[in-house]
Amino acid sequence: MKPVLALLLLAAACGVQARSAENAPRIYRYVSGGTVSFSDIPPLRSAYTIYSPSCYACNVHSAIQWDSTKLHLEAYGSVIEETARQFRLDPALVRAVIHAESGFNPVARSRKGAVGLMQLMPATAQQLGVANALVPDMNIRGGVQYLAGLLTKFNGDISLATAAYNAGPGAVQKYAGIPPYAETQVYVQRVKILHQRYRSALQG
C-alpha cells in the first residue's frame, strides 16, 4: 500500500472513531430536592452539568454489560503480545486495561488530558519516553511499562495496581488499599471482569 493512501485510510478511521465518541449518549448531572441525580435526558426544571467520566469504564452509571460486552481479541495483537512479554505481564490484563481506559479507541481523550489507547497523561508519557501518545504502538508500550511498574510497586496485586493506574499510586498508598472513590472502585471491578474474560477467550 502506498504511504499516502495508508495515511488517508488511517485519518479516515480516526475520524470515524472520533465522531463515534462525539455521538455517544450524554449523561446529565443535576440536583433535585437536594439529591444528586443522573439521566440521559436533560432535566427541564433543574440546572445541570454534563457528567464526563475520566475513562471508558469509569462511568459509575454505565449501562454497559461488562460480563457480555464485545471483546477486542485481535486489535494491536503483535505489539500487545511483544510488550506484555517484555515486561512480563499477562496480555489479557493489557487488553483489559486498554478496554477499560479507551474502549480500544486510539484517539480517545479524557477531560483531564489523558490520551490514546491506554490514556496516558502528558507528564507520564514524557517520563516514559513516549514521543506521541496518539501513536498506538508508542501508547501501548508506555502504558504497559507504567502498569508493570505499578504491579512491582504493589507486589503483584492487580487490584491495587489497576486502582493506582486510575487514581494514582499516592491515593492507593494514602488509603492503604483501593481508594474510596466510586469511579476507581467500579473501574477496578470492571477491569477484573474484563481480565477474566480476555484470559478465558485467549486461552480458549
Classify 92 as helix, strand or coil: helix
Say whether both 81 and 166 belong to one domain: yes
Selecting among 22, 81, 101, 183, the annotated active-site residue is: 101
Q: 60 lies in a domain?
A: no
115 φ, ψ (degrees, to nearest 5): -135, 160
**Confidence grade of residue 111 (pLDDT, cut at 50, 70, 90):** confident
Q: 69 lies in a domain?
A: no
Say whether both 116 and 191 belong to one domain: yes
Distance, in Å, from the CA atom of 43 to the CA atom of 144, rounded to the nearest integer, reads 41
Q: Sheet of 27-32: strands edge to edge?
A: 35-39, 27-32, 48-51
Say whether both 83 and 162 belong to one domain: yes
**Confidence grade of residue 47 (pLDDT, cut at 50, 70, 90):** confident
Q: What is the pLDDT of residue 190?
A: 98
Please, how many CA atoms are within 13 Å of residue 190, restricted to the half-sphere of its CB? 28
Q: What is the pTM assigned to this prediction? A: 0.76
Distance, in Å, from the CA atom of 179 to the CA atom of 170, rounded to the nearest integer, reads 10
Q: What is the pLDDT of residue 16?
A: 31
Is the pLDDT assigned to residue 76 strictly greater than 50?
yes
101 is catalytic: yes
What's the average model confidence in pLDDT over 98-124? 94
